[in-house]
Each structure stands twice: as structure tokens, then as C-alpha cells.
Amino acid sequence: MLINKQLPAGEYRHNYVRLALLVGTFLLFIGYIAVNELYEYGNNHIFLNGTIRAEDTTVNDITPSDWVYRSLNGLNYLWQFAWLLYSLTFIYRRSSIGYLYLSPNTLTPTFCITYIIAFLLPSIWILFFQKSYIAWTWIVYLVSFLLLTLGLFILNNNISINQKIYETDGFNRDIWCLRFFAQNGVAFFACWIGVRFVLAFDTFLQLYLSFSIVNAGTIALILAAIIAVTYFFGPNLNAALVEKCAYQFSPWIVFIFYFWGVVENNWVPKSVRRNNIIAALELLASVVAAIGALVLFTMRYRRSKIDPIP
């Protein structure tokens, strides 16, 4: 699945299935944006049967300020568009062994299909099921998060496998474009969907398991912390991931924005509750972890433990 299969030297032929997959990913993502913007709460003026966010169906104390939704949605759209548009340049650019979308074999069908399914699932759910089964939205977001995480692993591994091929053919800048646009873009998307899973799960705990607002929120914040720890410390402390994920920084943005938004939206100075304190501590931990990751990156960069930026 992850092994690079190169084309025979000198054969510059298009693969129309792979072409359709690459272009289709871009077009389907435009559809994802349309569904997300037209049907989500606050943007459903056109369609009377528009749905709402799952977390807005119950009172809770872990929902962030609305600017967090607008900011992270906007950044996510821009980041995905950036790497998808960049990937389309591979259609007419060629290495010594084939068109770049075929060789080096980085944007593989496995990665593309995993990525497509990950963002199509929430769109299909919002269109056809969320209004009737809104409490179960967390399952869709969880599956989407796991698929995006898998897609990120595949992409990171493929970039690492094909790095020498890019360098040999003089495509050093493409390694960095893939890392900044594609790798960080998918990581950002995965973490933002992970946050949406946490928010929707809080609703499920209250509606179906009769958890109190405080207990449901605490469990949801613990899950958010687990996801944050995985994305913060996995790439920085796991020797097998350090080199592949050295330049992966976008998860910092998601979690700092989210915990900041939760504190801002729910903190009442005269009535501080358990989840307010937990969210504040998680915000502080996220900032410290981001600084720590930057320090580790600087140390490794100076000691030539990771690839230098050309």
C-alpha cells in the first residue's frame, strides 16, 4: 500500500483513472464546502431544511466562541485548497520517470480515496441524516477523524519514501511544498474534525446516557486532551516519526484556538466551574507544548538531525 511503484524510464503516459481521482478530489472538496456553509447553523438561510451543529442542540460548557468556528473553518478551506491546487500542477509537470502525479508515487490512490471518504462522510450525514439522528453525529466525525489520521500517516510515509527521488530530479522545493501544504493541511483538517467529534460526543452523552452538563463536558475535554497529546507529542518524542513530522505544526493552531475559544465563551469569573478550569489548563498546556515542540525543532535543526530547508 505504501511502497512506491515507479514507471519505466522514458514512458510519459497519463493514467486517466489517477487523473480523475486527483481532479475529483478537488471538485468534491468544493462540494464539501458548499454543504458545510449552506447547511450548518447560521448559514442556512437559503435552504429551509438546513441542519444545525450537533453541539447546539444541548446546553454545554465546552463549545467555543463562534469566531473559532469561522476561523478554523476558513483556515481549513484555504489550506485544503492550497494543497489541492498545488497537486493539480503535478498533472503537467514531469520527473525523469513520469508525470509527477504518477512518479514519484506520493499522492497515491489509497491516500486520495481515504481523504475523499473522510470529508464526504460528514457532508452526506449533514444532508440526509443529521436532522433526524443528530445525537449520533459523533460517530461520523470519529470515523472521519480516524480516516484523516490514516491518510496523514500514508502521506507522511510516502513523502519520506520518495524524498531521494525528488532530490535526484531537482524537485527539492516540492518536498517542502508537500510538507507545508499537503501534510500540514491534512493534519489541520484531522484535528479540526477531531474537535468536532468531541463536541458532538458531549451531546450524545447528555441526550442518550443522561450525563450532566459538567460530567459530559469533562469527558469530552479529556478526549480532546488525548487527541492533542497524540498530535503534539507523538511526532516530537517518537523516534520513528520525528524526521517525518518535524515540520508538522498545524495541530498547534487548532487546539490553541479551540481551548482559547472554550475559555472565552464559558468563563464566568464569579461562577467558575470544573470544566472552565480544565479548559484553561488545557489551553496553557497547548501553548507550552507548542513552545516545547518549537524548541525541540530548533535544537534538532541546529544539530542537523532533520532536513535543512533549502
Instruction: Tell which residue, 29, 30, 32, 26, has the closest CA to residue 88.
Output: 26
Distance from C-alpha of 42 to C-alpha of 268, rounded to nearest angstrom: 25
Instruction: Tell which residue, 163, 14, 159, has the closest CA to residue 91.
Output: 14
Q: What is the Cα 201 distance to its own chain's centre?
A: 18
Q: What pLDDT score does 4 carry?
A: 45
Averaged pLDDT in 10-residue chunks for the chain of 310 residues: 45 86 96 88 53 87 95 96 95 86 92 98 92 93 98 93 88 91 96 98 96 97 96 71 80 96 92 93 95 85 70
Distance from C-alpha of 79 to C-alpha of 75, rounded to nearest angstrom: 6
Other beta carbons within 10 Å of 289:
21
Contact 31, 90 (CB under 8 A): no
Q: Enter the pTM of the model.
A: 0.91
Provide DSSP, 118-145. Answer: HHHHHHHHHHHTTTTSGGGHHHHHHHHH
Give, in degrees to the nearest 5, the angle at Cα 186 between 170 and 191.
Answer: 145
| Residue ranges with strand state E in the chain | 94-95, 98-99
Instruction: Tell which residue, 224, 164, 235, 234, has the closest CA to residue 195.
Output: 224
Q: What pLDDT score does 131 carry?
A: 84
Strands 94-95 and 98-99, bridge-based pairing: antiparallel
The x, y and z cell numbers of residue 70, run together, are: 469561522
Give, in order, the Cα–Cα distances in Å from 202 to each of 73, 205, 207: 20, 5, 9
Q: What pLDDT score does 237 carry?
A: 65
The x, y and z cell numbers of residue 212, run together, are: 450532566
Q: What pLDDT score does 271 carry?
A: 84
Task: Respond yes or no on whether the N-terminal peptide bond of residue 104 is cis (omega within 30° of 0).
Answer: yes
Q: What pLDDT score does 50 carry?
A: 62
Distance from C-alpha of 302 to C-alpha of 300, rounded to nearest angstrom: 6
Distance from C-alpha of 263 to C-alpha of 286, rounded to nearest angstrom: 13
Distance from C-alpha of 12 to C-alpha of 102, rounded to nearest angstrom: 10
Distance from C-alpha of 187 to C-alpha of 148, rounded to nearest angstrom: 8
Q: Based on the number of CB atoms within 10 Å of its own CB, is 238 exposed (0-12), middle (13-18) or buried (19 or more)?
A: exposed
